[in-house]
Amino acid sequence: MIELVRTNDAVVISFVESLMRDAGIACFVADQNMSVLEGSIGLLQKRVMVDADKADVARRILKDAGIENEIRQK
């Protein structure tokens, strides 16, 4: 899996998950439970991961949705 997005913005994470689900692309939110360690203050960023073979399609979907600034560079 490759990292598609890294952010501590819960709205962006939810939006990306929704876009991927609608496109039929499986994704995984890594570091989701790290807030337990950090005390829920939002310092540690969460990562949305997708299969490498779906990365180009996933990036195109984010670009079409207008959030290309959230895409992690290759």
What are the residue ranges spanned by the domains of the chain? 2-70
pTM: 0.85
Quote the crossing angle between the two packed helices 10-23 and 55-64, to the nearest 10°: 120
CA distance 25 to 40: 29
How confident is the model at residue 39, as a pLDDT?
Answer: 61
pLDDT above 90 as % of the chain: 72
Class of domain 2-70: alpha beta
How confident is the model at residue 43, as a pLDDT?
Answer: 72
Structural tokens at position 6 = 């890294």
